A and B are shown apart, each in its own frame.
Chain A
Amino acid sequence: MIFINIKVIEEYGPIILSGLNKTAILTVGGFGMGFAFGSILAFTQCFGGRISSRVATAIEESLRSIPLLVLMLLIFFGLPEVGLSLTPVQSAILAIGLRSMAYQSQILRSAILAIPRGQIEAALSLGMTKAQLFTTVIAPQALRIAIPGLVNQFTIDLKDTSIAYAIGVSELFTEAVHVAQVALDYLTPLVFVGAIYFVITFAASSIMSRVYKRIAIPGLGASQ
């Protein structure tokens, strides 16, 4: 492309790439937190008492209807008012994690609900306890069903780490914008980071779909 300036990449490429580090921390931290708490939320909704499952649903639904940016600003600028000051990176991870939690909870919940009732009855009729039922039947099946949805959420979390630009986290996108402002060329750094995001999301999807095939069991899978 004629508008891409190779010189800018040569000169500033390493600076932009230095943001990869923070992007990785936000993605892995946010997604990981989302998975840990999302599992608990989904479990509560499926197996918890009436009140606790209602509360879990309310948490999930309200977090899903708030923009990530608002959540991040609320945490970073708002929480100090009640004496809770988090660094930009911590705030970003928390925001991404909370939002990811809400979506992963939904993904895991529908995966659990997709397990045929007969599976559970069969396990119980073998005399399994609830805990045994969960670890040997429900979790292995639900995780397999949920994988495509979880991978997708992972790529969404990755792409949305760019929103941490708002609170000054020096991740990929922020670095690219800073370079753009210095080099007085927006297109080149933006296309450059765009390519990086694209490669990572693409790689994540293809690796995960390979994993998915590897652990796939005939007759059990998500209709994607």
Chain B
Amino acid sequence: MGIVSAFELLAKYHSIFLLGLRNTLILTATAFSIGFALGITIAVLREFGPKPIRHLLAAYVEIIRGTPMLLQLFIVYYALPAIGIVLPPIAAAILGMGLNSGAYQSEYYRAAIRAIPRGQYEAALSLGMTTRQLIEVLAIPMAVRIAFPSMVNELVYLLKYSSIAYFLTVIELTYAGKIVGAETFQYLEVYTIIAIIYFALSMAIVRFCKFVESRIRVPGLGAPEATRGLI
């Protein structure tokens, strides 16, 4: 392959690459946000909620973690119509990824909530806080700070796994590559370009988050990062 032909490809098909890039970013950002809201909710309910709900959510998390994300997207996209829920491909992908990420993120926040020193809770209680106030004032803000490095890892994970929306024919980066490849038969060049874009995006996300972290960092508060590999 040639560098020249790679640039030619990029120039000629820039609009489809850009469309792919746009959808990849949309998938990643929205799925992360859904996963964040869901993850915090699950974590709080599993730590402070009633027993039956704890068990139910534990089962949810285990099922999500024990099955492929691709399968989850297929269930959302192809199987939900059987019960009357029809979603366009990109919405199904976002929902599936969000449901998946919520389960993983809940584990990060749960670990973080548990890492909050006991004395912090006791101080909140001794001021007369209710459980609700304690969750809002102490548990969530602290858990998010403690779990921040894990959140960055999760974001990079979702960036990469957003490629799976390819199977629902969402024109994200990887699918854009497929379209250009099918037209030019220069698969090697096309997918190398795609790989480099993912690589650059990962780096950019990590850099950006380091910057954000330096902004929200609180002296004396921090924790080792967890990834999907090591919770």
Contact = CB atoms under 8 A, between A and B. Distances in A.
A65 B192 contact: no
25 contacts: A65-B160, A65-B202, A65-B203, A67-B162, A67-B163, A70-B194, A70-B198, A73-B178, A77-B181, A78-B187, A78-B189, A79-B188, A80-B187, A162-B68, A165-B70, A166-B166, A166-B167, A173-B70, A187-B75, A187-B79, A190-B79, A194-B67, A194-B75, A198-B62, A224-B230
Between A66, A81, A155, A224, the greatest number of chain B beta carbons within 10 A of the residue's beta carbon is seen for A66
Interface of A: 3, 62, 65-71, 73-74, 77-82, 103, 107, 148-149, 152-153, 155-156, 159-160, 162-163, 165-166, 173, 177, 180, 185-187, 190-191, 193-194, 197-198, 201-202, 224
Contacts of B71: 162, 173, 190, 193-194, 197
Interface string B78-97: 11001100000000000000
Contact of B166 (A69, A74, A160): A69
B187 A152 contact: no
A155 B161 CA distance: 16
B191 interface: yes
A180 B192 contact: no
B50 interface: no
B63 interface: yes
Contact of A69 (B65, B82, B164, B190): B164
Interface of B: 1, 62-63, 65-71, 74-75, 78-79, 82-83, 156, 160-164, 166-167, 174, 177-178, 181, 186-192, 194-195, 198-199, 202-203, 228-231
Contact of A67 (B161, B190, B228): B161
A173 B69 CA distance: 11
A173 B75 CA distance: 12
B167 A66 contact: no
B230 A152 contact: yes
Contacts of B70: 162-163, 165, 173
Given A186-B78, A224-B230, A197 B199 contact: no
A78 B229 contact: no
A197 B83 CA distance: 24
Contacts of B178: 73
A190 B160 CA distance: 23
Contacts of B199: 62, 65-66
B229 to A, nearest CB: 5
A222 to B, nearest CB: 8
B89 to A, nearest CB: 14
Nearest to B69: A159
A89 B174 CA distance: 20
A162 B66 CA distance: 13
Contacts of A82: 1, 188
A173 B74 CA distance: 10
Contacts of B188: 74, 77-79, 81-82
From A163, A173, A177, name the one whose CB has the most chain B CB atoms within 10 angstroms.
Answer: A163
Contact of A152 (B75, B79, B162, B229): B229
A197 B69 CA distance: 11
Contact of B191 (A70, A155, A202, A224): A70
